[in-house]
Amino acid sequence: MVRNQPHADAISASAEHPLPRPLFEHEGFEADLGTLFEFRARTTSYGITVMIRETSA
């Protein structure tokens, strides 16, 4: 993750990036890519599980 931090910083500084920039402007806010990935993977997995249950019922 440390290796990718400069790239993540460049993306978040870009005006073209879809993430809300005010999030990054608050003092003390730090985007932890591992936590963000884990959250997204968990929610995606949950969504897929729900879809499978709905189509299997």
Please give the pLDDT value at position 33: 81
Q: Give residue for tokens 């870009």.
A: 14
Tokens representing 18 are: 């879809």
Q: CA 28, CA 47: separation in Å to the nearest integer?
A: 31
Tally of structural domains, the chain: 1
Q: What is the pTM of this model?
A: 0.41
Range of the domain at 48: 2-56
Q: CA 27, CA 23: separation in Å to the nearest integer?
A: 9
pLDDT (tens digit per residue) in 11-41? 667 666 555 556 556 666 666 788 888 888 8
Q: CA 9, CA 17: separation in Å to the nearest integer?
A: 11
Q: Are 33 and 12 in contact (CB under 8 A)?
A: no
